[in-house]
Structure 1
């Protein structure tokens, strides 16, 4: 249970813990069951999201327990950022090890949040997840940060109390009765002395009155933070992204392109992977390296395939709630424009509109502040478009400033028979569409 890693957040004194052990809990009062599970596992601390059926446990070293008040679960933060579908993350750590975490519908999967000694071990774990979940699994990748932990820390956001580790508590061991009586007597004496000192302090120095928190200003800051961390795209942004994939070389030193995938990184750019297979009998690793574009990094697998890693400029801008269209406008304008595109697509899926989950601010006593009447109700729905790469260039501009694209994929099928909605270059766009009520 102690095989964990603590990473500092570059911008403040918070710490991220990687490598917790996750368990499934069932029944009512999940908060109580989460703590009971942590005690059963002999953990010192645990992480649990409200109403979640997953709890992560860890036994911190004594030297780390003094920092427990600022340690946050990286897996819980990742799951909160990916509440739709099944998403996994491979992140290289400064010491050369690799962290793998996966979440399904915002819940950390029990077989993830593991630290592997080599990248090969991590990729085997991802392969196991792919076999279990098939095409429904989306894999993200973070490489070494400078400073370390910057990309992972960005998942926490500016307010992340829900990701903070909680103490599991402790129980008295079985001891002889006389010794237990003596220990309890000493504790009672210390407690009485502490109460007396506290009483004397109260009489002499009354505690300061907490400064009142303005509910309207607190909720306004919550919406401002959501706008800053949500990045929406315009037509020129996804056109540039698709062009980056369309310009990938099909043949690199005798190696043929088979697929590519880009994920929106925590930063503004897109993190991309392109898979090439050894197609010519005289092709070698050296011939690939001599012909491949600059700025690529390769992972060989091991004799006849290579995965090239590269980045594409992300584009996009922070969400502006004032520019969001209503759900009724979406149904009339955006959905209509998407329906007009259906004949040249192989598939298109649009999820139900659900309210965006925002963490309520706290008042001066640390209690959640109820939502203010008249505040905006922000809705989100998943959108996926699949079809020939040429067709996705026709994605309508009505989506501009309403959509946050999160992933794009490309598949090369040399045997495909071209048609209106089929080609040898098939692509997919996946993201979240925002609206107000």
Structure 2
């Protein structure tokens, strides 16, 4: 029996029940991530994640089901999730072959391991499992609005390879140009290759490329100072113990600390209150603070927090695979307590290409050392992933960080005292930015 049932709405539209694998994404550019994941899983179609839902759905539709040109396919599970944007909801539908379609959604996102076609007893077991995982899950029945939600958020998009994305006219034009230039290009590239080969051979006779590159990476590592988990807890507790909510009748609005050479450069902004003045602010400043003013109703206290940071140990930098599995898993456990988490994809660290002076019989000559082509010593170039995290200030006390992290900014804002606190909202809202180092 097939894992997917496709029901035709009309000559141009079909709805797919079951057979779609759903998984949650984090970070930015969710649509781009969705297509990459679908391609890596060798899927034929996918439902893209986005602002409406952080879940991407991937599936393999048989070719005879999709051979009609111009026909659009939509996910019934994505339609259900769109129609139910709040809470954890479960629904079932008996299909024509006697099986039961089971799907569940959490705040508008399809829950993983649902959107399946199973027999009645299996459906009951799956529903019980979902309710065990989500104590607030509610099972609903009856038809739900379908046609209204057949849109880009529920459409199963076909996977196209790079060649298929190129228009036919462009393919013909490129082919013609390639025929005209290929002979000249091949000869030019061959000459360049031989020149590079000769230069590399000549350089290798004078210079140890591996040693020079290891030295360049060590110099880069010495310029990076890390905070790690202890550094976050230190600045968190220091601010909590040293920043008064009121100074001479002035009320705290926000605190902002930036990474500096000697530690942290901090400032706290206060708003004028009853019987406050610049003089009352100045006379009641904590020790080590300096005062300045912004207009008549804002006062700012500035101070520095000394801290000793440590350098990167190249051998302890986590691999991208280990970071993605272990650290991201620990971060995912506290996502419900955060408003925003953006982590960029890894980009190679900007390491200066090593240069040395060599005397080859014609005086000193400055030579640029290329990265070893064979890399027999296994040199690994570090990469950087920047992050931007927002949430209640209290969440920073349990926020996991790897040791190979440099915090760039910690800022928190005091909100209105009349607003209610939730898991993701608080009177004190914090913003944390920085860089993870991986390899």
Alignment TM-score, normalising by the size of structure 2: 0.49
Q: Who wins on radius of gyration, i.e. which is larger?
A: 2
TM-score calculated relative to the size of structure 1: 0.49
